Amino acid sequence: MAFNAKPPSKLRWGELEDDGEDLDFLLPPRQVIGPDENGVKRVVEYKFGDDGNKIKITTTTRVRKLAKARLSKSAVERRNWAKFGDAVHEDVGSRLTMVSTEEILLERPRAPGTKADESKIAGDNLAQLGKGGAVLMVCRTCGKKGDHWTSRCPYKDLAPQTDAFVDKPPMAETAVPGPGGASKPAYVPPSMRAGADRTAGTDMRRRNEENSVRVTNLSEDTREPDLLELFRTFGSVSRVYVAIDQKTGVSRGFGFVNFVNKEDAERAINKLNGYGYDNLILRVEWATPRPN
């Protein structure tokens, strides 16, 4: 035909019937019988012989019993899969398993209660929150944007509180002018916070010492950020301290919270003394000034 530019080798099943050459579809379907309990498998096929007659071919094979016993049907089937992925370049049977080269990043909460973390918290004071990993330290966005916090992010309350620690006490003391020569501390890194307190003036410190509240009967894994979270609702907190056993690194079960305003400290004492916290009843009282 003039229309048909396709080479005759290109097979179209619709044409097969026409040229009458390949009539295999007329034959009975291939049958697989077994394997039976003896491991004998029979494959029955049909084809046309050269003379056009139908020929029945029966192939009988014996399946190894061992293989049959150990491999499930699907396992046998998997053996016939073409190799894919990195295994494409592997020789047949050279390796049974492949090590994935894909990089998988895991989000890892801080390991709870390690000594390194304890000292770090003591130094950073408020850089971290969470009692022994009880608080899941997962933040959806802080990694990139810095100020979008999930409701459970321990840093969400600490970021503004850093300002309270560094800036607010001097601000609150505008009635008593600070030393004129000393420049106003704008931002002091947490690691330098203790030093910043000293440079801001010892009178400020003494003032805060007078609003010092002692908290006892703390659970062992209560940390300074926990105390801050608990007490800051009463007013500006100027300092939080949890006594740590320097030798073991564990909390000694008491601490101090200093308020900028005495009234706030008073309210905290009235509200939180006897307050159940971490299965323990807190004792919250005025602290006796530290001898120095």
Tell me how far, at minimum, the Cβ of 201 lies from DNA, in Å. 12
Is residue 45 exposed (0-12), middle (13-18) or buried (19+ Cβ within 10 Å)?
Answer: middle
- Closest CB to DNA among residues 151, 183: 183
Tell me how far, at minimum, the Cβ of 133 lies from DNA, in Å. 22
The rounded distance, in Å, linking the Cα atoms of 51 and 217 is 102
Report helix, strand or coil for 230: helix
The rounded distance, in Å, linking the Cα atoms of 4 and 198 is 97
Tell me how far, at minimum, the Cβ of 94 lies from DNA, in Å. 60
- Closest CB to DNA among residues 58, 199: 199
Answer for the pair 215, 257: CB distance below 8 angstroms, yes or no: yes
Report helix, strand or coil for 62: strand
Answer for the pair 250, 203: CB distance below 8 angstroms, yes or no: no
Q: Count each helix (H run) and each strand (E run) in the chain, helices first.
A: 10, 9
Tell me how far, at minimum, the Cβ of 158 lies from DNA, in Å. 19
Tell me how far, at minimum, the Cβ of 129 lies from DNA, in Å. 19
DSSP 8-state symbol, 77 = H
Answer for the pair 188, 166: CB distance below 8 angstroms, yes or no: yes
Tell me how far, at minimum, the Cβ of 183 lies from DNA, in Å. 12
Burial state string for 10-41 with b = 16 or more CB within 10 A and e = fewer than 16 = eeeeeeeeeeeeeeeeeeeeeeeeebeeebeb
Tell me how far, at minimum, the Cβ of 108 lies from DNA, in Å. 30
- Closest CB to DNA among residues 217, 273: 217
**Please, where are the H alpha helices in the chain?**
13-19, 65-70, 73-79, 115-124, 158-166, 168-172, 193-200, 202-210, 224-231, 262-272
- Closest CB to DNA among residues 32, 194: 194
- Closest CB to DNA among residues 129, 215: 215
- Residues in contact with DNA by CB under 7 A are 194-195, 198-199, 209, 212, 214, 216-217, 241, 243, 246, 252-254, 256, 258, 283, 285, 287-288, 290, 292
- Closest CB to DNA among residues 153, 240: 240
- Closest CB to DNA among residues 23, 250: 250
Starting at the edge strand found earlier in the chain, the sheet holding 283-286 runs 237-244, 251-259, 212-216, 283-286
